[in-house]
Amino acid sequence: METKILSTNDEDIALAGEILANGGLVAFPTETVYGLGANALNEEAVKNIYKAKGRPSDNPLIVHIAYKEDIVPLVKEVTPKAQALIDAFFPGPLTIILPKSDLIGKVVSGGLDTVAVRMPINEVANKVIKAAGCPIAAPSANTSGLPSPTRAKYVIDDMTGKIEAIIDGGDCEFGVESTVITLATDTPTVLRPGAITKEMLESVIGKVEVANAVLHGMKDNETAASPGMKYKHYAPKARVVIVDADRKTYEEFVNNQKGAFALCFDEDEVSVPRVNYGSENDDLSQARELFDALRRLDEMGAKTVYARIPRTTGVAMAVYNRLIRAAAFTVIDLTKPFTLGLTGQSGSGKSYICKKLKERGFNIIDCDEVVKNIYDTNEALVKSLCNEFGDITTDGKIDRKKLGNIVFNDKSKLERLNGLVHPAVIDRCVSLSKLPSVLDAPQLFEAGAQDKCFKTIAVLADEKTRLERITKRDNISQEQAKNRLSSQFSEDYFKSHCDFVIYNNDDNDIDREIDDILHSLGF
């Protein structure tokens, strides 16, 4: 099919109206995003919308009207709350759901007994609906699953050859789709946030709820209040991960991620390739830019994208709602220490894994080094050790030999020593923790440091391999090596106590094992 590109002059709008009245499909601009319109009362025409978009048939469409009173024949009843919302927000970026009248067919309503109605404020949209002379069913004019189009160019990308005409009306003012509120439930509920905020709605009709799935996604056994909630949405080809962090932490994190792209605010200073989506304190600018930014990232060939997190209130709730879906709900939370605890038996090759993690941008904290330095740097610890074990200093410093003689062969004293040293070591490690970090801690569990870690990883290897490695590395006998290993936790212990396991025998594919773990954490 040849797709006509129309302008916004009267002649072209009349032509668009004619195409729609005759059962054809026309994409047109609205104040939110471009819509893909058909005569809402012509079920055959409406079916073609689902076909052109590749949209599941149970996902209902919004019916667009040109005059406030045109809602009356479409619904069972215009309730007082509906009337109040119409008076306050029509025309504008608000969609109201009410029980439907018989005029609304099964195809438009996706088989539901309700209908969604909206009256756009965009002048071109309004003229097109008037020219068609019928209510217009119109979803966003994108291929199902892709970001909604905020510029004519993206509609042309997605719909050329599939529909009769596209009106090029410039860029959309708001950039995210309308707020969808249902009045068909006991308490009015926002099913999709948009530029008309919860607070604005509440100021007109009192208490309004926000559906749980708006910010948190749907649980497996949950049924969707709005079928659109359950489908993958707004997803670019790139993998998007939201980074929950303040600006400085975000910048530091993203600058360490080789090969990644940043989806960030205008103010952010990043050294990786970037696409901005508005300004940090301007929610409306974020809404306007987001979908365009997602599409541009694909044009730039981005594979992994780290997005700065938007707020979740006001208009930004709409931005967050779209972005979290584009990210398939993957969030790296850097508001808490993001430290991976790396442990395992001697000879399993933890240092090698650390090297690999360092190459991938992690800050490595070597607990053995921290232990070595702790006696020189922590005066309070030195004092409490002297209180416990008598004068164990030489020239004012802890004498490790003296200390060793006291605790060696005395298990209870060794335990007391550890009880004093371990917390100091953990504190020091936490203070060294930059984002993201790996705590290289052979004695992670002995020290109780696992609780300070976001996730724990055990590095394991066959006993034979470990023995070979230790005898070579430390220049000790098989016997001595065996002895050392026998005092350590078993493989089963590590497997049951750690979140992840890396098998580090010589023939394992270590890079893949590491990347799989990091991928599952959002890297």
Residues in contact with ligand TXA by the rule CB under 6 A: 30, 32-33, 35, 59-62, 95, 97, 109, 112, 114-116, 118, 138-140, 177-178, 180, 191-192, 226-228
Least Å distance, CB 188 to Mg ion, is: 22
CB of 16 to ligand TXA, least distance (A): 15
| Span of 132-140, 163-171, 316-324, 391-399 interacting with Mg ion by CB under 5 A | 132-140
Q: Tokens 């509440």 appear where? A: 202
| Residues within window 203-232 making contact with Mg ion, judged by CB under 5 A | none
Question: Quick one: 140 or 179, whose CB is closer to Mg ion?
Answer: 140
Which does residue 35 touch among ligand TXA, Mg ion, none (CB within 5 to 8 A, set by kind)? Answer: ligand TXA
| Residue 367 binds which of Mg ion, ligand TXA, none (CB < 5-8 A, kind-dependent) | none
| Residue with Cβ nearer ligand TXA (33 or 128) | 33
Give min distance, CB of 55 to ligand TXA, in A.
8
Radius of gyration of the chain (CA): 31
Q: Cα torsion at 123, 126, 129, 135 (round to 10°)? A: 150
Burial class (CB in 10 A: 0-12, 13-18, 19+), 235: middle
Stretch 90-129: interaction string toward Mg ion, x if CB under 5 A: ----------------------------------------
Task: Characterize the bridge pairing of strands 304-308 and 261-264.
Answer: parallel
Residue 378 binding result from Mg ion, ligand TXA, none, given CB thresholds of 5 to 8 Å by partner type = none
Residue 131 exposure: Cα atoms within 13 Å on the Cβ side: 24
Q: Which is nearer to ligand TXA, 227 or 423 (CB)?
A: 227
Closest distance to ligand TXA from the beta carbon of 60 (Å)? 3
Closest to ligand TXA by CB, 39 vs 59, is 59
140 scored as a contact of Mg ion (CB under 5 A): yes
Give the 3-state DSSP-derived string for 257-294, with helices as H, strands as E and coil as C: CCCCEEEECCCCCCCCCEEECCCCCCHHHHHHHHHHHH
Nearer to ligand TXA, 99 or 337 (CB): 99
By beta-carbon distance, which residue lies closest to ligand TXA?
228
Q: Are 234 and 329 in contact (CB under 8 A)?
A: no
Q: For the chain, report the end-to-end CA distance as a whole number of angstroms.
A: 43
Cβ–Cβ under 8 Å, residues 478 and 403: no
User: Residue 387 and residue 409: Cα distance in Å, rounded?
Assistant: 20
Least separation in angstroms between residue 214's CB and ligand TXA is: 11
| Helix runs in 113-244, H state only | 123-132, 152-159, 198-205, 213-216
- Tell me which of Mg ion, ligand TXA, none is bound by residue 32, counting a contact when its beta carbon lies within the kind-specific cut-off of 5 to 8 angstroms: ligand TXA
Rounded distance, CA 518 to CA 260, Å? 14
Closest approach of Cβ 431 to Mg ion, in Å?
48
Surface-to-core class of residue 496, CB atoms within 10 Å of its CB (0-12 exposed, 13-18 middle, 19+ buried): exposed
CB nearer to Mg ion: pick between 140 and 433 = 140
39 touching Mg ion, by CB under 5 A: no
Residue closer to ligand TXA, measured from CB, 38 or 426: 38
Question: 3-state class of 24 per DSSP?
Answer: coil
* Stretch of 121-129, 134-142, 267-275, 442-450 lying at the interface with Mg ion (CB under 5 A): 134-142
**Could you tell me the smallest distance in angstroms from the CB atom of residue 228 to Mg ion?**
7
Q: Please say which residue, 37 or 349, places its beta carbon nearer to ligand TXA.
A: 37
Total number of residues shown for the chain: 523
DSSP 60: -
How near is the Cβ of 148 to ligand TXA at its closest, in Å? 6
Residue 409 CB partners (closer than 8 Å, separation 6+): none
Give the nearest distance from C-beta 96 to ligand TXA in angstroms.
10
d(CA 509, CA 349): 14
Rounded to a whole number of angstroms, the minimum distance from the CB of residue 222 to Mg ion is 20
d(CA 460, CA 466): 9
Q: Is residue 179 within the footprint of Mg ion (CB under 5 A)?
A: no
Query: Where on the chain is the footprint of Mg ion (CB under 5 A)?
Result: 140
